[in-house]
Structure 1
Amino acid sequence: MRWEYRNTVLVLCTLAFFATMVARLVISPVVPAIVSEFGTSSGTIGLAFSGMWAAYALSQFPSGLLADRYGERRVILTAVSTTAVASAALALSPSMATFGLFAVLLGAGAGLHYVVATTLLTRLFSNTGRAIGLHVTGSPLAGLSAPVLAAAIGSRYGWRVALLLGTVAAVPVGLVFAWRVRETEPQHPERPLREGFEPRTLLELLSRPAIAYTTVLAVISAFTWQATASFLPTFLIARHGYSTALAGMLFSLYFVAHGVFAPAIGSFSDRFGRDPTLGATLAVGILAYPVLVLGPSLPVVVLGVVLAGIAMSWSAPLQDRYIVRLSEGEENRGFGLVRTVYMLLGALGSVATGTLADLAGWGVAYGALGVLLAVAVGSLVIVRLRGLAL
C-alpha cells in the first residue's frame, strides 16, 4: 500500500504527544528524591502536579483558538518547543517554589498540542475513533520508556538529570515535525481571538445536555487518570514496599497495557459504539484499583497494574463522543473548551489523592478511585436503559 501524507502527520503528531508526555511522566518516578531534597510533603508535590495539569488544562481552549487563527502546525511546534525549554528549567529548579512554577510552565506548553493535533487528524481520517486511538498511543509509548529511564538515571545521577529527558525527547521531534509537516491553513484567520472568549457562546456550548453529561464522565475519568499518572510509583513504594526500580518497571507496564489497548478500544468504538465501549473500559477500573490496594503478592499487583492500564484507555470513545456533537466550525474551539473544563477539574486528582494519602493512607486514596469509576459506569447504564438523549 502507498504511504499517504496523512499517515506522516499521524505519526509525527503521535511523536509530538510522546515528547510532551515524556516531559511530564519523568517526574513521578523521582518524587521521593524531590521530596527529600526540598524537605516537602506528598501533598505539596501533589499541588505542583495539580498546578502542572491545571495549566495543561487551561491551555487547551486557547490552543484551539490559536489553531483557528494561525494553523495547527504552528501551534504544535510551539507546544514541543516550550516543552523542551520548560523541562530544562524544571531540572535546574533551586527550590520547591520554583519547581512548582516551572511545572506550571511545562503544563501550559505541553497543553497546546493535544486538541489541535486531534482536530487536525479528525479532518484527515474518516475513522475518527481509530485515529484518536493511535494518536493517544503517544502517551503509553512515553510511559513505556520514560519511567524506567527516569528511575534508572535518577538513582545513579540524581533527579535533575532524569528530568532533562523531557528536553532530550522534545528537541528532535520538533525538528522532524518542522521538516516533514506542511503548513496548515487556519480555519478562521479573520476571527479576532477575543471573540472566542465571549461568555454567552461558551456557556451555551457547555450547557448543552449531551456536552454537559459527557463532561461529567470526562472529569471522573481525567481525575482518575491524573491520580494514577502522578502517584502510581509512589503508591507501589509506600503501599507494597517495592523498590524505586521495580515501581518504575510496573509504571511502565501500566503504559504498555495502555498502549496495547488504546488503538483497539478506538477501533471498538467505531465498530460497536462509543458508550458501550466507554462503559466496558471504565468498568475494568472498578476491579483494577481494589486489586492494586489489596493485592497480597507481586503477580496480583501486576494484574492490577495491567487492568488499570486498560481502564485508563478511555480517550478515544470519550473524546469521539465530543467530536460528533460539535459542528465542523466549532471543533477546535469547542473541543478545546471542553477539554479545558474537564482537565482542569480532573487535575484535582493529583492534589486530592496526595492529600488523602497523607491523611488516610494510600489504600484509601487509591480505593476511592475505583468508587468514582463505578459512579461513571452506573450513569452510563442508566442513560442506556432509559434511552436518554445524552
Structure 2
Amino acid sequence: MRWQYRHTVLTLCVLAFFVTMAARLAISPIATLVIAEFAISKSLIGLALSGMWLAYALAQFPSGVLGSKYGERSIILVAVGGMSILGVSLAVAPIFPVFVVSCFLIGGFAGLHYPAATTLLTRSFDDPGTVIGIHGFGAPVAGLLTPVAVSWLGITYGWRVALLSVAVVGGPIFALVYLRVRPVSPTTPDTSLRSQLQVGALWSLLARPAIAFTVWIGVMAEFVTQGLLSFLPTFFAEFYGYSTTRSGLLFSAFFLVLGAGGIAMGSLSDRYGTDSTLVVCLLSLASGVLVLLSKPSELAVLAGVSLVGLGACAAIVVQPRIIQSLEEAEKGTGFGLVRSVYMILGAAGPVSMGFLADAFGWIVSLGSLVVVSLAVVVSFAANWWLGFDAGGGHRGSSP
C-alpha cells in the first residue's frame, strides 16, 4: 500500500509540475500574436518573460522554507491554485503593463511548487537523480502539448482563449492533490522562520565549495534553458520563416527529447556522477545550436532540435548535485535557497536573448548560448584539475 501511495504522490506531483510549467510556456508559442496586439518589441516581451522567470526563481527559497515549516502538500496546493487564478488575469489583460504584472505573479505562484514537491519526493525515494528526472517529466510533457495546443487555439480563437485554457486545467489538478495527497509532517515545524532566514547561516551554506560551484553551473544552465524556452519558437518563425504551427511542432519535439532525456540523464547521474553527465549535456547543447544556425536540411533541423533538447537536461541534472551536497534537515530550505539564487541570476536569459536578437540578429543571440555552454565545460575541467570541490563526482558525494 505504501508503494502504491508513494507512486500516486509522484504522479500527482508530475501533474502539478505539468500545469505550472504549461502556464509559463503558454506565452512563447503565441508571443508574435501578443507582440502584434500590444504593438511592442521582442525586447519588451522578453522583459515580461524574464520577469516571470525571475519571480519563479524568487519563489524557490520561500517554497523550501515554508514547506519545511508547514508541510510540502500545503505549498503545492497554493502553487497550483494561485497559478490558475493568475492565469485568468493574464488572459484578460487589457493593456501590456497588466500582462507584465500577471506574468510576474504567475511565475511566483508556479515557483512555489518545485522545491516543495522535490523535497517531498526525495524524502520518500532513495535515488534522487531518477526521481527528480521523473518528476521533471511534467515539464517536457507540458512542452510537448502546450505549444501545439496553444498555437492552434491562438490562431483559431485568439491568444486570450489560448492562455485561458491553460489556467482552466489547473482546477482539476488542484482537486486531485487536495483529495489524494495526505497532509505531511514538516521537517522543521518547531524552527522559527526568523532563524531559517538568518543571513549568516544562509551565506555559510552558499559558501560551501560544492554549493558555490553548483550555483555557477545552475546560473549558466538556467540562462541557456530559459532563453530557449522563451524564444525557440520565435527563432524558427523568424530565422527559418516557419509558420506558427510548424514552429510549435518543433518546440514540442524539443520537449519530447527533454522529457525522455531528463529521466535518462537523471538515472545516469545516479550511476556515473552529475558532473560527467552535465558535460555531456552541455556539449550536446552547443553542438545542436551550431547545427540550427547553419540552416541545414529539414532532417538535420530535427537532429539539431534533439541535441538542444538533450543539452537542456543540464537544468535537471544540476538538481541532484544540490541534493547530494545537503544534509537531510537542510534539504527543504537549502534546495530552495540554491535554486532561488541560481535561477534569479539565470533569469537574465530571455531578456538577453531578446536584446541580442533585436540588436544583432539570431546568429549572435543563439550563438551566445554556445559560448555559455562551453564556458561551463571549461570550468568543469578547471574544477577537476584544481580539486575545488567533489560535490558531483559520484553518487552520494558530500562537500
Query: Which TM-score band (shorter chain)?
Result: over 0.9
Alpha-carbon offset, residue 386 of structure 1: 4.2
Q: Which runs of 5+ in 1 are unaligned?
A: none
Q: C-alpha separation between the residues in 1 aligned to 2:272 and 2:206?
A: 27
What residue number does 2:389 align with?
389
- 1:119: Cα distance to partner? 1.0
Q: SS of 1:182's equivalent?
A: coil
Residues 223-234 of structure 1 aligned to structure 2 (within 5 Å)? 223-234=223-234
- Aligned position for 1:327: 327
Q: What CA deviation, in whole Å up to 9, does each residue of 1:118-150 have, x standing for no partner?
A: 111111000111000100110000001000000
What is residue 344 of structure 1 aligned with on the other side? 344
State the partner residue of 1:179.
179
Deviation at 1:222, TM superposition (A): 0.3
- Aligned residue identity for 2:90: L
Contact 1:23-1:165 within 8 A present in 2 as well: no
Which residue identity does 2:363 align to in structure 1?
Answer: G
Contact 1:70/1:189 (<8 A) preserved: yes
SS at match of 1:4: helix
Q: Which residue does the alignment assign to 1:303?
A: 303
The equivalent residue for 1:275 is: 275
Cα distance per residue 1:360-380 (max 9 Å; x no partner): 001110011011001111211
Alignment of 1:351-366 (within 5 A): 351-366=351-366
Q: 2:285 aligned with 1:290, yes or no?
A: no
Preserved contact between residue 79 and residue 113 of structure 2 (Cα < 8 Å) = yes
Q: Specify the code of the residue in structure 2 equivalent to 1:205.
A: L
Q: Which amino acid aligns with 1:281?
A: C
Whether the aligned pair in 2 keeps the contact of 1:50 and 1:347 (CA below 8 Å) is yes
SS of the counterpart of 2:309?
A: helix
**AA aligned opposite 1:17:** F
Please give the alpha-carbon distance, in whole angstroms, between the structure 1 residues aligned to 2:226 and 2:4.
35
Residue-by-residue CA offset, 1:15-73 (whole Å, 9 max, x unaligned): 10001011111110100010010010000000000110000000100111111111000
Match of 1:318 in 2: 318
Give the structure 2 partner of residue 217 of structure 1: 217
TM-aligned CA deviation for residue 316 of structure 1: 4.0
| Residue 222 to residue 261, structure 1, CA distance change in 2 (3 Å) | same
The structure-2 alpha-carbon separation of the partners of 1:349 and 1:316, relative to structure 1 and needing over 3 Å to count, comes to closer
Task: Give SS of 2:296's match.
Answer: coil
> What is the deviation of 1:203?
1.1
Residue 148 in 1 paired to residue 173 in 2? no
Query: Does the aligned pair in 1 maintain the 2:17–2:114 contact within 8 Å?
Result: yes
Aligned 1:1-390 pairs, distance under 5 A: 4-390=4-390
> 1:388, CA displacement in angstroms?
3.6
For 2:51, give the aligned amino acid. G
Distance 1:33 1:253 in 2: 22
One-letter amino acid of the counterpart of residue 59, structure 1: A
> CA–CA distance in 2 between the matches of 1:297 and 1:95?
41
**Contact 1:83-1:166 at 8 Å conserved across structures:** no
CA distance in 2, matches of 1:169, 1:283: 36
Aligned length: 390
Instruction: Measure how far apart 1:382 and its partner are.
Output: 2.7
1-side partners of 2:209 and 2:387: how far apart? Answer: 14
* Contact in 1 for aligned 2:152/2:245 (Cα 8 Å): yes
Aligned-pair CA distance for 1:328: 1.1
- Whether contact under 8 Å (2:57, 2:343) holds in the other structure is yes
8 Å Cα contact 2:286-2:308 kept in structure 1 = no
Matched to 2:236, the amino acid is L
Q: Distance in 1 between matches of 2:341 and 2:386?
A: 27
Q: Is the 8 A contact 2:143 2:252 kept in 1?
A: yes
TM-superposed deviation, 1:166 = 2.1
Distance 2:201 2:339 in 1: 16
Any conservation in 2 of the 1:15–1:138 contact (CA below 8 Å)? yes
Segments of structure 2 that go 5 or more residues without pairing to the other structure are: 391-399
1:174-218 deviations in whole A, cap 9, x for unaligned?
111111111011111222222222111111111112111111010
Q: State the SS of the aligned residue for 1:124.
A: coil
CA distance in 1, matches of 2:75, 2:389: 35
Asked if the contact 1:130/1:316 (under 8 Å) is kept, the reply is no
Aligned residue type for 1:221: A
For the 8 Å contact 2:25–2:229, the answer to whether it is kept is yes
> TM-score under structure 1 normalisation?
0.98
What is the CA–CA distance in structure 2 between the aligned matches of 1:87 and 1:24, rounded to whole Å? 10
Moved more, 185-194 or 118-127: 185-194
Which has the higher mean CA deviation after the structures are superposed, 250-259 or 316-325? 316-325
The 4+ residue runs of structure 1 with deviation greater than 6 A are none
C-alpha displacement at 1:3, in angstroms? 5.0
Paired residue type of 2:251 = F
Quick one: distance in 2 between partners of 1:317 and 1:150?
Answer: 28
